Amino acid sequence: MHSIIVVPMHSAHPDDHIHLEPGECLAFGRTERPHGPPGQHGQHGPYLAIPHEGVSREAGEIAAVGSYWRLSNLSGAQTYVVENPEGAGEHIKVPPGRLDAPIPFEFSRVVLPARSELLSFDVWAPRHDHLDRTGPSHGAPTASAFPLDRDKRYFQVLVALCAARLRGEPHAPLPTAEELVERLRPLWPSVSRASVAWNIDYLAVKLRLKPAPDTAPCGGPRLNGKKERLASLALRFDLVREADLALLSGKAEATR
* Residue 101 counted as domain residue: yes
pTM for this predicted structure: 0.67
Residue 147 within any structural domain of the chain: no
Q: pLDDT tens digits, residue range 169-203?
A: 888 999 999 999 999 999 999 999 999 998 998 89
Burial 197-213 (b: 16+ CB within 10 A, else e): bbbbbbbbbbbebeeee
The yes-or-no verdict on residue 244 having pLDDT over 80 is yes
What would the mean pLDDT of 228-241 be, rounded to a whole number? 92
Same domain, 12 and 99: yes
pLDDT score, position 249: 83
Span 79-98, mean pLDDT? Answer: 90
Compute the distance between CA of residue 252 and CA of residue 256 in angstroms, rounded to an integer. Answer: 7
pLDDT class for 228, splitting at 50, 70, 90?
very high
Question: What is the predicted pLDDT for the residue at 9?
Answer: 87
Q: Give the closest residue to 244 by CA, choosing from 156, 147, 122.
A: 156
| Shared-domain flag, residues 27 and 90 | yes
Distance CA 124, CA 133 (A): 27
Does a structural domain hold residue 145? no
Residue 217 lies in a domain: yes
Asked whether residue 93 falls in the same domain as residue 157, the answer is no
How far, in Å, are 111, 217, 221 from residue 213 at the CA level? 36, 10, 12
Quote the pLDDT of residue 226: 87
Question: pLDDT grade, residue 23 (50/70/90)?
Answer: very high
On whether both 19 and 113 belong to a single domain, the answer is yes
Residue 36's pLDDT band, with cuts at 50, 70 and 90, is very low
- Residues 6+ positions from 208 with CB-CB distance below 8 Å: 1
* pLDDT reported for residue 140: 56
Do both 107 and 15 map to the same domain? yes
Q: Which residues contact 90 (CB under 8 A, 6 or more apart)?
A: 83, 84, 105
Q: Which of 124, 139, 164 is the last residue before a domain boundary?
A: 124
Q: Higher-confidence residue: 1 or 39? A: 1
Query: Do residues 117 and 14 share a domain?
Result: yes
130 in a domain, yes or no? no
Same domain, 157 and 229: yes
Average pLDDT over residues 204-208: 85
Range with the poorest average pLDDT among 10-24, 44-58, 72-86, 124-138: 124-138
Same domain, 110 and 171: no
Q: Tell me the average pLDDT of the chain.
A: 83
| Residue 141 within any structural domain of the chain | no
8 and 119 within one domain = yes
Tally the domains of the chain: 2
Handedness of CA 10, 16, 22, 28 (dihedral sign): negative
The last residue of one of the domains, among 105, 124, 143, is 124
Q: For residue 69, what are the β-bridge partners?
A: 64, 103
242 plus 198 within the same structural domain:
yes
Residues 180 and 103 in one domain: no
Q: Does residue 256 lie in a domain region? A: no
Range of the domain at 220: 153-246
Q: Which residues of 66-79 are buried (b: 16+ CB within 10 A; e: fewer)?
A: ebbbbbbbbbeebe
Query: Does residue 25 sit in the same domain as residue 73?
Result: yes
Work out the average pLDDT over 215-228: 62
CATH number at residue 79: 2.60.200.20
12 has pLDDT over 80: no
Residue 35 is predicted with a pLDDT of 46
Tell whether the model's pLDDT for residue 6 goes beyond 90: yes
What is the model's pLDDT at position 67?
A: 85
Q: What percent of the chain has pLDDT over 70?
A: 78
Q: Is residue 251 part of a domain?
A: no
Winning range, highest mean pLDDT, from 125-134, 151-160, 205-214 = 151-160
